[in-house]
């Protein structure tokens, strides 16, 4: 079970890194996920509202993926305990 959890955490970390890279390539902040950015920007620009809907559709098993990603960014859940204030 421990090996499975380690592998799952590793894949989760890779997915966050890929998400942050995609956001940075689109001129966003390097430490913000595209999902969180889509949520944050959706009330300001229509195109981000569309992006948010597309991303939420990709994560159909989650109630509101982009809002959850935004909240996780606010709570700094992606950081190691050592870096959280």
**Residue 56 to residue 39: CA distance in whole angstroms:** 10
Q: Give pLDDT, residue 33.
A: 93
Helices (H), the chain: 2-25, 34-41, 46-58, 65-75
Cβ atoms < 10 Å from Cβ of 22: 14
pLDDT tens, N- to C-terminus, the chain (85 residues): 577 777 888 998 898 899 999 999 999 999 999 999 999 999 999 999 999 999 999 999 999 999 999 999 888 877 777 777 6
What letter would DSSP give residue 27?
A: T
- Please tell me the pTM assigned to this model: 0.81
Q: Give pLDDT, residue 46.
A: 96
């Amino acid at each position: 079970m421990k090996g499975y959890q380690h592998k799952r955490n590793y894949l989760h970390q890779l997915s966050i890194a890929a998400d942050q890279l995609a956001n940075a390539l689109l001129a966003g902040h390097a430490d913000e996920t595209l999902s969180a950015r889509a949520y944050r920007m959706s009330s300001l620009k229509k195109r981000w509202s569309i992006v948010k809907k597309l991303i939420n559709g990709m994560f159909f098993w989650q109630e509101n993926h982009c809002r959850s990603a935004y909240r996780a960014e606010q709570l700094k859940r992606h950081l190691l305990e050592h870096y959280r204030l």
